[in-house]
Amino acid sequence: MARLLLLGLGLPIFVTGVVAGFAAAIRVVQLDRTVVARFEGPRFVVPSRVYSAPAMLYPGLDWKLVELPTTLRRLGYREAARARDLAPGQYAWGPSHARIHLRAFEHPSRPEPARDVVLRLDGSVVRDIRAIPSGRELGAVALEPEQIGAYYGLDREQRELVSLGEVPRHLTEAVLAVEDQRFESHRGIDLRRIAGALLANLRAGSITQGGSTLTQQLVKNFFLTPERTLQRKLQEAVMAVLVEIRYDKDQILEAYLNEIYLGQRGSTAVHGVGEAARLYFGKKTRDLSLAESALLAAIIQSPNGISPHRAPERAIQRRNLVLGLMHSQGRIGAAELERARAEALQLAAVTPDPGDARYFLDLVRRQLAESYDAAVLAAEGLRIYSTLDRRVQLVAARALRDGLADLEQRFPALRKSGRSLQGCIVALRPQTGEILALVGGRDYRVSQYDRCSQARRPTGSVFKPFVYIAALEPASGSAAITLASVLDDSPLEIRTPSGIWRPENYDREFHGRVGVRDALEHSYNVATARLADQIGVARVVDVARRLGITSSLPRVPSLALGTADVSPLEMARAYAAIASGGILPEVQGVEDLVDVRGRTLERRQLQFKRVLEPGIAFLATSLLEGVARRGTAAGVHATGLEGPVAAKTGTSDEEHDLWFVGFTPDLVAVVWVGFDEPRSLSVPSSVGALPIWRRLVMELSGGRVRGRFAPPAGVTVAEVEPETGLLALDACPERRSEYFLAGTEPTATCPATGLASPFLDGDESPLVRRRFFEWLRGQR
């Protein structure tokens, strides 16, 4: 009976046991698969980072103008009190010398070694640069590219992967000392530690201590939620054992060091010692000192509570505790302990992401979208080296922000509409097409719409130079105009399919006969429309297309006055071709792309093609230089800006869009100001957009633009009489030098043949007659 009872009870227990064991085995297999899938697949989400072009240091550089100390701090360089024995990433500034220990720049094709250099200063100018200790004079040295942003996934984790070989031994020792001192000997769980923690918690009456090993912490971060339940704890323990069975200690330690959460930078979470070393000390992990390593190990417990930025004293206290543990566990000697304890906390400056480059980051993302989708960019840790010039970008962002604020202050009506006045600015290097700066709007947080690359707006008069270029180019053997020609700015009617079109000037007046320079300098609509009508809109469209305008260009007479919608980036490229002597560059935002293993995936090539003859490009430049000297853009020189500037204002119908395009020999920048939903600003471009451009160039150049616009071969200079455009003889009342394509100089002279008509339509001017008779009187 008893046996039967035993059998009756034992069988179900046995069966239950077998089923439970089987279920547990299945669960273990499932957990094992999860572990393997994670460890053997892409273990970490590593956002792709975008870097600026490297800043260069060279003799003759105005270090104050380029704000070198600020740049160094942004790059995470730390200022040392003494200029002796600097480590990479440190600098020291003296009255006549600056010493910088440049960090190495790791790149598959453009690596730079770490270099200790001294800059001899002469006031604000770098006199020379020498290597230490050799004393060898250096021509130019590059600072490493600056991170301008990253493409995060939804979790916004920031991480720089490191291999165990890159981690100094004292960092692993520090981590093990405080987090898991028996890591080398346990098999995933540490029973002694668990027992100790249990005892401590029982004594405290609450959970004050964890008994997790480093492997368990890794498992928890990798696979589990942070909830504290028995089931989760059990699962964690099983998985920790599985991890230990499958992988060796080095693999586990490396994964842990890359996974561990170590703080916050704004809205992004800092994971891994690589990223933390960069954030807190501006260093590579391998360059961390013992004290710095101990600090990183110290903050694992509570990265935000013991943050060295927020609570430096607590951080030092805990760092010293870690150092004490290292010593008591025999990981460091007494001398090392004392030296490390005495080390002052030297943190890299925290530079919050200014957010100014976010429109540029979006542009790069769109450009890369064909080959790399958002998921790849967010997870695969690509390094994207861009063409962006950090300084130009910062100055451009400031110029736009302050310029729009000033405009609203001067014209309060612009603020009252309830809609935000917007603007954008894009700057290119004309010869290479590299984007140096792009600010697509007033505030990225409010609107991510990039008005420089995504918006197309009527261009107003910034389109006019294309008309003049078309007229200056020889077609069928001869050009329609030279720079000395005289145009007709009298009332005009042009028949169009939609009726008669009667263009008007901005000042609602007609100016009669005007020189080509006057017509463009004062942006006369009627003279320009008549010129376009004479040469044909098709030729104007052809020029615009050659200059890289890809937007739709309706072949209507009003096209000459800028009624077509074009993006500021397109316009910048077109003017870049004029600025670079007729060579159209491909717009470039990315220099190269490197994968997480350091292999170059893509490398850009400079690309350009000749679209205008150099002589024509120069004549157009000279015209635009006149606009900036005497015309509607003369305001560029109003605050003392010196040097070669060529520019054009543009204001669309009803002052909905204010454009300003200007270039120097090595920079072209376009400014657009307006509302997203077109609405009159009631101010012209010279008031609304020009000052923003001027702020940019003034600050970049320090008020003095370098270089010059020089005539190429095939361009000659002749003295002409401005009113008539004829060759000026000595007796002419007025004369000025003018540029011509060789062979297009006027042949008739003033005053000897002063009555010969220089006009397009062969008419004679009363003014010419009057001058002729004045001259005759003067001869007597």
Q: Which two tokens stand for residue 618?
A: 């120069």
> How many CA atoms, within 13 angstroms, populate the side-chain half-sphere of residue 551?
21
Q: How far is CA 704 from the centre of its chain?
A: 24
Cβ proximity to another protein: between 608 and 775 the closer is 608
- Residue 109 engages another protein in binding (rule: CB under 8 A): yes
- Residue 548 engages another protein in binding (rule: CB under 8 A): no
Q: Which of the stretches 89-97, 289-297, 426-434, 717-725 binds another protein when contact is defined by CB under 8 A?
A: 426-434
Cβ proximity to another protein: between 422 and 580 the closer is 580
- Residue 110 engages another protein in binding (rule: CB under 8 A): yes
Please say whether the beta carbons of 669 and 434 come within 8 A: no
Q: Which of the stretches 194-202, 376-384, 536-544, 710-718 binds another protein when contact is defined by CB under 8 A?
A: 710-718
From 699, 711, 733, 748, residue interacting with another protein (rule: CB under 8 A): 711
Q: Which of the stretches 28-36, 53-61, 165-173, 344-352 binds another protein when contact is defined by CB under 8 A?
A: 53-61
Of 115, 126, 58, 135, the C-alpha closest to 93 is 126
Of 337, 353, 268, 279, the C-alpha closest to 78 is 279
Site string for another protein, 153-182 (x = CB under 8 A): ------------------------------
| Closest distance to another protein from the beta carbon of 125 (Å) | 8
Where residue 284 falls (left for φ over 0; alpha for ψ -120 to 50; beta otherwise) is beta
From 64, 286, 310, 609, residue interacting with another protein (rule: CB under 8 A): 609
- Residue 435 engages another protein in binding (rule: CB under 8 A): no
Cβ proximity to another protein: between 109 and 747 the closer is 109
Q: Which of the stretches 6-14, 134-142, 306-314, 490-498 binds another protein when contact is defined by CB under 8 A?
A: 134-142
| Closest distance to another protein from the beta carbon of 571 (Å) | 19
Q: Which of the stretches 267-275, 366-374, 425-433, 685-693 binds another protein when contact is defined by CB under 8 A?
A: 425-433
| 3-class SS of residue 98 | strand
Cβ proximity to another protein: between 255 and 583 the closer is 583
Strand 499-501, strand 565-566: pairing: unpaired
Please say whether the beta carbons of 578 and 617 come within 8 A: yes
Q: Where are the alpha helices (DSSP H) in 224-356?
A: 230-246, 249-259, 272-281, 290-299, 312-328, 334-342
From 38, 59, 201, 249, residue interacting with another protein (rule: CB under 8 A): 59
Cβ proximity to another protein: between 59 and 355 the closer is 59
Cβ proximity to another protein: between 316 and 715 the closer is 715
| Closest distance to another protein from the beta carbon of 617 (Å) | 8
For residue 710, CA distances in Å to 288, 625, 668 come to 53, 12, 17
From 210, 312, 474, 614, residue interacting with another protein (rule: CB under 8 A): 614
From 60, 266, 512, 554, residue interacting with another protein (rule: CB under 8 A): 60
Q: Which of the stretches 50-58, 413-421, 648-656, 723-731 binds another protein when contact is defined by CB under 8 A?
A: 50-58
Cβ proximity to another protein: between 439 and 583 the closer is 583
The DSSP-derived string for 718-779 is EEEETTTTEEEPTT-SS-EEEEEETT-S--SEETTTTTS--STT----HHHHHHHHHHHHHH
- Centre a 10 Å sphere on the Cβ of residue 693 and count the other Cβ atoms it contains: 29
What are the phi and psi torsion angles at 196 (to 5°)?
-60, -45
Please say whether the beta carbons of 736 and 720 come within 8 A: yes
| Closest distance to another protein from the beta carbon of 136 (Å) | 12
- Residue 717 engages another protein in binding (rule: CB under 8 A): no
- Residue 618 engages another protein in binding (rule: CB under 8 A): yes
User: How far apart, in whole angstroms, are the C-alpha atoms of residue 350 and residue 755?
Assistant: 74
- Residue 706 engages another protein in binding (rule: CB under 8 A): yes
Cβ proximity to another protein: between 66 and 379 the closer is 66
Q: Which of the stretches 29-37, 187-195, 431-439, 464-472 binds another protein when contact is defined by CB under 8 A?
A: 431-439
- Residue 426 engages another protein in binding (rule: CB under 8 A): no
For residue 606, CA distances in Å to 438, 603, 609 come to 19, 10, 10
Name the DSSP class of 561: G
* Interaxial angle between packed helices 2-40 and 230-246, expressed in degrees from 0 to 180 and rounded to the nearest 10: 60
| Closest distance to another protein from the beta carbon of 98 (Å) | 17
Cβ proximity to another protein: between 142 and 347 the closer is 142
User: How far apart, in whole angstroms, are the C-alpha atoms of residue 641 and residue 659?
Assistant: 20
Cβ proximity to another protein: between 474 and 644 the closer is 644
- Residue 270 engages another protein in binding (rule: CB under 8 A): no
Write out the catalytic residue numbers.
Answer: 179, 461
* Interaxial angle between packed helices 290-299 and 312-328, expressed in degrees from 0 to 180 and rounded to the nearest 10: 110
User: How far apart, in whole angstroms, are the C-alpha atoms of residue 429 and residue 575?
Assistant: 11
Where residue 252 falls (left for φ over 0; alpha for ψ -120 to 50; beta otherwise) is alpha
Q: Which two tokens stand for residue 668?
A: 């072209």
Beta partners for residue 475, in sequence order: 478
From 31, 35, 50, 61, residue interacting with another protein (rule: CB under 8 A): 61
Cβ proximity to another protein: between 410 and 706 the closer is 706
Q: Which of the stretches 283-291, 292-300, 602-610, 764-772 binds another protein when contact is defined by CB under 8 A?
A: 602-610
Strand (E) or helix (H) holding 131: strand 125-131
Please say whether the beta carbons of 152 and 365 come within 8 A: no
| 3-class SS of residue 243 | helix
User: How far apart, in whole angstroms, are the C-alpha atoms of residue 626 and residue 516?
Assistant: 11
From 431, 454, 563, 622, residue interacting with another protein (rule: CB under 8 A): 431
Could you say which residues in the range 581-600 bind another protein, by CB under 8 A?
581-583
- Residue 58 engages another protein in binding (rule: CB under 8 A): yes
| 3-class SS of residue 639 | coil
From 263, 430, 557, 722, residue interacting with another protein (rule: CB under 8 A): 430
| Closest distance to another protein from the beta carbon of 138 (Å) | 8
From 142, 224, 748, 760, residue interacting with another protein (rule: CB under 8 A): 142
- Residue 627 engages another protein in binding (rule: CB under 8 A): no
Q: Which two tokens stand for residue 69?
A: 């100390």
- Residue 742 engages another protein in binding (rule: CB under 8 A): no
Cβ proximity to another protein: between 403 and 665 the closer is 665
| Closest distance to another protein from the beta carbon of 477 (Å) | 24
| Closest distance to another protein from the beta carbon of 170 (Å) | 36
| Closest distance to another protein from the beta carbon of 146 (Å) | 14
For residue 511, CA distances in Å to 327, 526, 528, 663 come to 90, 9, 12, 28
- Residue 737 engages another protein in binding (rule: CB under 8 A): no
Cβ proximity to another protein: between 567 and 588 the closer is 588
Amino acid (1-letter code) at residue 166: E
Please say whether the beta carbons of 247 and 195 come within 8 A: no
Site string for another protein, 656-685 (x = CB under 8 A): ---------xx-------------------
Strand 78-79, strand 90-93: pairing: parallel
Size of the site for another protein (CB under 8 A): 39
Residues in touch with another protein (CB under 8 A): 53-54, 56, 58-61, 109-110, 139-140, 142, 429-432, 434, 580-583, 605-610, 614, 617-618, 665-666, 706-707, 709-713
